[in-house]
Amino acid sequence: MIEDERQQHAHLDALMRAYDEALATHDIDGVLLYSGQPARHFGDDQHASFVAFGHFVHWTGQAQLAHSWLLVRPGEPPTLYLYAPADVWHLPARLPDEPWVERFRVEAHATHEPPALPSGRFAVLGEVSDDIARDMGAKANPPGLVASLNELRVRKSDYEVSCLRDANHRAMAGHLAAREAFDDGGAEFDIQLAYLRGVRQRESELPYPTIVGLNAHGGVLHYQHCDLVAPAARRSLLLDAGARYRGYCADITRTWSGRDSVAEFTPLVDGVTALQHGLIAQLAPGVSYVDLHRHMHEGLAVLLVEQGLVNASTEAVLESGLTRAFCPHGLGHLLGVQVHDVAGHVDATGRRRPPPAEHPTLRLTRELEAGMVVTMEPGLYIIPMLLEAHRHRPEVNWDRVDQLADHGGIRIEDNVLVTAAGPDNLTHQEP
Ligand code: GLY
Ligand code: MN
Ligand code: MN
């Protein structure tokens, strides 16, 4: 058996054992996972793009499979009710040639109705209303069970790590092609096309809409447009773009200077990159991710002073809240079959761990454990609406800050596996 197949079998064996335990703990005989359905536009017959429910993807890797159900019961092979109506409009769903398909019972399912459940205590998880679950004789999304199953996604199996690594390789091929399009003078749209060509996935299959920000657009954290016309001045590109493999996500950001960037910009990009490398080196089991996030702010304060953007001690910069105006998002998040994966705000026992009041956007507050895959994405942006509140501060070199505004911002983001032997960067390939 090839290694890939062996890993998938081991992943399924572990998942079956873990589900058996979770179901026993919560006194439930079985769980039916609903993949979900795409939202239909109001008053229209067209649908939004679709991503299947994470727990369904955890078993099947099928992030695009709608209207399908997976029944998991101890001692039985999982049963996949595969939505496959006789339909002249669409090709029936295709399943991959992978070990899990051999191990599951697969029943074609021609309606949007849920399958009938056997008698017993069942939970239905996914986008299902309480009323529908009650009609099925089941409970919808019982919070205790959902929390236990979320926790199973936090530490990745070898199989999941391979999938995440593969997703990273694909995304890096896209980044490489996109960078060439940037160097060739392309518009945001051209860079987007180059990315998709490199990654070989439709945008609707990617884990999140590609963020292609030239110049000031790099300072809009989730910039959502794609200009068709290339700007005359080429100061910077911020590209945040991922890929999927068997449902698992890559989430990678690179920032590049252009031929028209001011001399101060490239050292800032290098500074954020060095900061990111230093933070990645600190990833280890037992380390608090909140502490790492605070270390990011300390590093940003050092960088702002070193690069002459602020004339003050690093302590004073931190105290003033300026680093939070230059970087309003968290250091990163858990990564898996969802780009912002579940269970970032609880501890291993399920107790809630909200982010610190002064860092409300931090998506991960846990202590790190071996097997977690996290993103590491320090950033430094010129966001006028945030900096405005600090305009009165004479220690800020406003001439320099304002000169950088039309470069937008910098984010450097990699995906890293935490291991007892040190960080394993899944995004190691540089374009
Ligand atoms: N691409 C979204 C994020 O970095 O979290
Ligand atoms: Mn990202
Ligand atoms: Mn991210």
* pLDDT tens digits, one per residue of 42-69: 999 999 999 999 999 999 999 999 999 9
Which band of pLDDT confidence, cut at 50, 70 and 90, is reported for residue 431? very low
Distance (Å, rounded) from C-alpha 123 to C-alpha 118?
A: 12
pLDDT digits (tens, 9 = 90+) for 211-253: 999 999 999 999 999 999 999 999 999 999 999 999 999 999 9
Which residue range forms the structural domain that includes residue 166? 158-425
Across 195-204, 251-260, 365-374, 420-429, least confident range:
420-429
The pLDDT mean for the chain works out to 97
Q: Which of 37, 24, 86 is nearest to 64 (CA)?
A: 37
Cβ 251 under 6 angstroms from ligand 1: yes
> Strand pairing partners for 413?
253
Q: Which of 161, 145, 154 is nearest to 346 (CA)?
A: 154
How many of the other CB atoms lie within 10 Å of CB of 100?
A: 21
* Domain-located, residue 404: yes
Fill in the DSSP letter of residue 355.
Answer: P
Q: Which of 92, 118, 152 is the last residue of a domain?
A: 152
Q: Are residues 268 and 330 in the same domain?
A: yes
Q: Are residues 166 and 137 in the same domain?
A: no
The predicted model gives 391-400 an average pLDDT of: 98
Residue whose CB lies within 8 A of the most ligand 1 atoms, among 195, 244, 362, 413, for a mutation test = 413
Q: Which of 134, 152, 170 is the last residue of a domain?
A: 152
Would you put residue 236 in left (φ > 0), alpha (ψ -120 to 50) or beta?
beta
Q: Which of 131, 152, 173 is the last residue of a domain?
A: 152
Q: Are residues 249 and 360 in the same domain?
A: yes
Distance (Å, rounded) from C-alpha 124 to C-alpha 129?
A: 9
Cβ 208 under 6 angstroms from ligand 1: yes
Q: Are residues 144 and 250 in the same domain?
A: no
Distance (Å, rounded) from C-alpha 18 to C-alpha 24?
A: 10
Which residues lie closer than 8 Å to 402 by C-beta, 6 or more apart? none
Identify the residue whose C-alpha is closest to ligand 1 atom 4: 251
The predicted model gives 259-272 an average pLDDT of: 98
DSSP annotation string for 282-334: T--TT-BHHHHHHHHHHHHHHHHHHTTSB-S-HHHHHHHTHHHHH--S-S--B
SS3 281: helix
Tokens representing 30? 């079985």
Tokens representing 141? 């999304």
Q: Is residue 429 predicted with pLDDT exceeding 70?
A: no
* pTM (global) more than 0.95: yes
DSSP annotation string for 148-185: HHHHHTTSPPHHHHHHHHHHHHHHHHHHHHHHHHHHTT
Ligand 2 centroid – CA 300 distance (Å): 19
pLDDT digits (tens, 9 = 90+) for 123-166: 999 999 999 999 999 999 999 999 999 999 999 999 999 999 99
* Domain-located, residue 419: yes
* Domain-located, residue 27: yes
User: What's the CATH code of the domain at 62?
Assistant: 3.40.350.10
Distance (Å, rounded) from C-alpha 269 to C-alpha 378?
A: 11
Fill in the DSSP letter of residue 378.
Answer: -
Which residues lie closer than 8 Å to 422 by C-beta, 6 or more apart? 283, 284
User: What's the CATH code of the domain at 202?
Assistant: 3.90.230.10
Report the share of the chain in percent with pLDDT over 70: 99
The predicted model gives 84-103 an average pLDDT of: 93
pLDDT digits (tens, 9 = 90+) for 342-390: 999 999 999 999 999 999 999 999 999 999 999 999 999 999 999 999 9
Q: Are residues 25 and 129 in the same domain?
A: yes
Ligand 2 centroid – CA 108 distance (Å): 37
Cβ 240 under 6 angstroms from ligand 1: yes
